[in-house]
Amino acid sequence: MDKKKIYPWYFAVGALVFYGALFVLPGLIGVGYSFTNWSSYARDLAWVGLDNFAEIFSPDRDYLTYIKNTLWFTAASTILKTVLPLALAVLLVKEVKGLALHRAILYIPAVLSVLITGLTFKSILNPQYGFLNQSLRAVGLDALAAHWLTDPTLAMWSIIAVDVWRGTGYVMTILLVGLLSISSTYSEAAMIDGANAWQVFRHITLPLLRPTLAVVIVLNVLYGLKVFDIVYVLTNGGPGHRTEVLYTAVFSEFSRGRYGVGTALSTVMLVVMVVAGVFMIRVLTRNEVQE
């Protein structure tokens, strides 16, 4: 490596100062507050040690259920938002009629605001007047008409489905770029050697797509762990507490003026995300060749 070609360290100082001041420092201050009794009720801030964390992990409280819900949402949405976009990307990487149109249609949900998506689906999924149930009833499938967002057993699945609908196009676009960067000479050579389409995908496309898949999975997992907006708009954690996730709980704590507990919850999630992020990047990129 020619060290003369490496830029000097102080080129990064400006960016590091801004990043540190705007991201790292507030984060650290937040972590600090999680060890205090910060609330809208108390005028003086006092150190309470691990009390807020003890409350979060207490079996008497529901926070562990919210963490479980968050992990469940993350796992399900990550799998679906990786497999489905991958299938669509593989289909849309070929020369098909109206290729750009197909890609654009699939990408459109990603540019809509979550609020608009949420309100629209809230209307579509209304059990009485919603488009989905009305359509099912119109074709005689009354038995399939359900309380999509208010049935405790269905609500989380409905949120995941809406999230997948919204995120598929975005992930598909990233994967398309990855697929397009793979030279067709590899697959052509394999075909000449007698490989079928599945074998080409399994042994050539997938390994070469691994760095892109790593990015997609990390993005999906981190998004899932900090999900808030789509849950807030569709169910606000209900019915009851069935779809409550960690960040709706954080919002609820802040609304009640219990800022110390709220920041402690955020701190727990920060640790989970850092550990998950580092672990995934290491696992998913372990066989990559570093230039």
Partner 1 sequence: MTKKVALLAVAALILAGCGSSGGTDGTSTTSDTNTSGGAATTAAVTPTTITLMTSQGWIKDSEYDLADRFEEQTGIHVEYQVVPADQYAALLTTKLNSGEVADIWMAQADKFTIVSSLDVANNAVDLSAEEWVGRFDDSAQAQVSVDGKVYGLMVWDVSDSFSYIYNATIFNELGLTVPTTFEEFKAVCAALLAAGVVPIYEPVADGWHHPLDFFNVAHAYNASDPNLVTELNNNETTLADHPIFQQMIEQMKEVYDAGYWGEYAFSDEYSGLNQALADGRYAMAVMNMTAVQEILDLGGTYSSPTDFGVFPSPYVDNTVIADTPGGPARFIYPKSPNVDAAKQYLAFLAEPDNLQYGIDQGYFNALPFSGLDMNYPSWMATAIDQYKPGTDTVYQNDVSYLNAQWMDFAADLSAYLLGDMDSATVIANLDRRRTEQAEAAGDPAWQ
Whether the CB-CB separation of 209 and 33 falls below 8 Å is answered with no
Secondary structure class of 58 (helix, strand, coil): coil
Which region holds residue 181: left if phi is over 0, alpha if psi is between -120 and 50, else beta? alpha
Q: Among the residues of the chain, which ranges form H helices?
A: 13-19, 25-33, 51-56, 63-92, 99-111, 114-124, 131-138, 155-180, 184-192, 197-200, 206-225, 229-234, 246-255, 259-284
Nearest distance in Å: CB 175, partner 1: 36
- Name, in order, each residue with C-beta under 8 angstroms of 203's C-beta and a sequence gap of 6 or more: 190, 195
Q: Which is nearer to partner 1, 13 or 24 (CB)?
A: 13
- Of 210 and 242, the one with the shorter C-beta distance to partner 1 is 242
Shortest Å distance, C-beta 10 to partner 1: 7
Minimum CB distance to partner 1 smaller for 109 or for 239: 239
* Three-state secondary-structure class, residue 127: coil
Q: Which is nearer to partner 1, 252 or 266 (CB)?
A: 252
Closest CB to partner 1 among residues 223, 232: 232
Cβ of residue 31: shortest distance to partner 1, in angstroms? 19
Q: From the CB of 128, what's the least distance to partner 1, in Å?
A: 5
Q: Which two tokens stand for residue 37?
A: 């009794």
SS3 category, 1: coil
- What is the contact surface with partner 1 in residues (CB under 8 A)? 10, 37, 39-43, 126-128, 147, 149-150, 152, 236-242, 251-252, 254-258
Least gap, CB of 73 to partner 1 (angstroms): 18
